[in-house]
Amino acid sequence: MTPMPERLNAARFALGGRLLDLLFPPRCVNCKQVGGAFCPQCFGSIQFIQPPFCPRCSHWLVSANAPCPACRAQPRLITRVRAAAWHEGAIRQAIHALKYNRRRDVAAPLATLLAPLCLNTESKPDLLTSVPLHPERQRERGYNQAEELAKQTARRSGGTYARLLERTRATADQIGLNAQERHANVRDAFRVNASIQLQGKQIVLIDDVYTTGATLDACAAALFARGASAVYGVTVARPR
């Protein structure tokens, strides 16, 4: 039987959550309608990435099953990257809310888009992990949005989440840098900080947005250095 103080705390927590919902009901990230993180209309407006797309980075293609020009120009370490939707409209608002407006509740509906992409690898992945945030930024935000997405996705895909990576140094903001500068900016910026055996493991690496793939590639390099056999990047969105 659960001790009395613990049961009281649990009840208080549940009541507090309900009270908070009554006082500040969750609103749709896109149209602000009261009800939840996404209203049905805004969820229905999401532009999913449909085939044919680049087998390496999920970008749209004119002809199927050949890497896109960006992947041909910049060889990638990561095994493959899938993105669920184009970075626009309701998805863009959702990612912004998750990152900058403390809308942690947005991670669960977004994970429903990520889970099918994780099961779509060659075989069932061994572990799910996430791109780490700089500790200072994580302190400001209170959580790492990529980790929230990865934990929720693991719950939905039956996988196991593990915090595997850490940043070895602060990196400059990637905004305004071209692909080559982005790769140079994050090279050797990550390392595995876990005693988990990664030899021969297939790992799903979760992030919110894919831009040039530089960050995912730098994380993949650290996982491959510890013996991972495949690293599948899975993101909510990528730009067209």
Q: Which is nearer to Zn ion, 68 or 77 (CB)?
A: 68
In Å, how far are 4, 8, 22, 23 from 206, measured between CA atoms? 40, 37, 33, 33
H/E/C letters for each residue in 158-225? CCCECCCEEECCCCCCCCCCCHHHHHHHHCCCEEECCCCCCCCCEEEEEEEECCCCHHHHHHHHHHHH
Measured from the CB atom, is 76 or 167 closer to Zn ion?
76
**Rounded-to-integer distance, Cα 26 and Cα 36, Å:** 5
Instruction: Read off φ and ψ for residue 100, nearest 5 degrees.
Output: -115, -15
**CA atoms within 13 Å, Cβ hemisphere of 65:** 0
Residue number with CB closer to Zn ion (125 or 233) = 233
d(CA 106, CA 95): 8
CA distances (Å), origin 185, targets 16, 22, 144, 211: 44, 45, 20, 14
Instruction: Retrieve residue 168's tokens.
Output: 């070895």
Please, what is the minimum distance in Å from the beta carbon of residue 101 to Zn ion?
Answer: 15
Residues that bind Zn ion (CB under 5 A): 28, 30-31, 33, 39, 42, 54, 56-57, 59, 68, 71
Q: Kindly tell me which of 169 and 240 has the beta carbon lying closer to Zn ion.
A: 240
Q: Is the Cβ–Cβ distance between 76 and 217 less than 8 Å?
A: yes
Shortest Cβ 30–Zn ion spacing (Å): 4
Residue closer to Zn ion by CB (options 89, 226) is: 89
Minimal distance, residue 65 CB to Zn ion, in Å: 12
Nearest-approach distance from CB 106 to Zn ion, in angstroms: 12
Q: Which of 105, 90, 113 is nearest to 24 (CA)?
A: 105
Provide the minimum distance between the beta carbon of 185 and Zn ion in the complex, in angstroms, as a whole number.
Answer: 20
Provide the minimum distance between the beta carbon of 213 and Zn ion in the complex, in angstroms, as a whole number: 8
Query: Closer to Zn ion at the Cβ: 28 or 221?
Result: 28
**Helices and strands in the chain, H and E counts:** 9, 6
Decide whether 71 or 179 has the Cβ nearer to Zn ion: 71
Rounded least distance, CB 40 to Zn ion, Å:
8
